[in-house]
Amino acid sequence: MTRQKKITVVTNVILVIIFSLVFSVSFFAETPVPIYGGKDISAIYNGNRNENNVSLMFNVYENTEVVNSIIDILDFYEVKATFFVGGCWADDNGETLTRIVSEGHELANHGYFHKDHKTLDYEANKEEIHLTGAIVEALAGTAMNLFAPPSGSFSSATLEAAFDLGYKVIMWSKDTIDWRDSDKNKIISRATSNLSNGDFILMHPKEHTLECLPEIISRCRAEGFNLVTVSENIGDSAA
């Protein structure tokens, strides 16, 4: 091989190496950084599918009298439930918060102003969740660790903010849509049709929901399910 050919070969090899390095840097620079720095975070839609438990979860921003009547029914049937409370409701209803805790039910976080958390950045998500938690702890002496985003709307920023505050993000597997519909047959059917182990049944403190509650409890029990808090339902598995 002539000297000129050797120089050409070496030059080509160098060019290939440089091109490869440039390509590698460009490629990896454009590759998204793993979300949360590798933290494994996701919303939870149901409890342990291996246990015959279901949970009644109430999202609360209104109707304190109905909330107290719900507690009356739950206590009569010896059922425990989880109340996801809004901060702007909680700060005016310390007595009801205390009652929820004293009678063995679970308090959980539903944000302060019922905002669309999907549209909030990390700091705004964190503020909504933290403020509600601080209020409930001050009034009821309970530190919460479950958060249900209003309207089920959340983003990666919501998940990260909740995680950093020590919360699990909770969704649902059965939605009664009682905030929109007052038809009792629809509400009962949505709550109890095709029940599965670990289901979370979402409701709100509405008069028509209150009237459906005894039948919902009875049907759950007739199908062999225990009614427990969301935390107990999750247990060691949220698969």
If you average pLDDT over residues 84-95, what whole number do you get? 97
217 within a domain of the structure (yes/no): yes
To the nearest 10°, report the CA torsion of 134, 135, 139, 143: -40
pLDDT digits (tens, 9 = 90+) for 200-232: 999 999 999 999 999 999 999 999 999 999 999
| Rounded CA separation 102/100 (Å) | 6
pLDDT at residue 1 in the model: 53
239 within a domain of the structure (yes/no): no
CATH number of the domain where residue 115 is located: 3.20.20.370
- The reply to whether 27 and 73 lie within a common domain is no
- The reply to whether 112 and 24 lie within a common domain is no
pLDDT of 54 higher than 60: yes
pLDDT at residue 22 in the model: 35
If you average pLDDT over residues 36-62, what whole number do you get? 88
Q: How many domains does the chain have?
A: 2
- The reply to whether 24 and 92 lie within a common domain is no
- The reply to whether 20 and 44 lie within a common domain is no
- The reply to whether 57 and 140 lie within a common domain is yes
pLDDT of 119 higher than 90: yes
**Residues in contact with 46: Cβ distance below 8 Å, sequence separation at least 6, in sequence order:** 173, 196, 198, 199, 200, 233, 238
107 within a domain of the structure (yes/no): yes
- The reply to whether 19 and 58 lie within a common domain is no
Domain that holds residue 7: 3-31
- The reply to whether 22 and 54 lie within a common domain is no
pLDDT of 237 higher than 60: no
Number of Cβ within 10 Å of residue 66's Cβ equals 18
Place of tokens 């979300």: 35
| Rounded CA separation 178/201 (Å) | 11
| Rounded CA separation 113/70 (Å) | 23
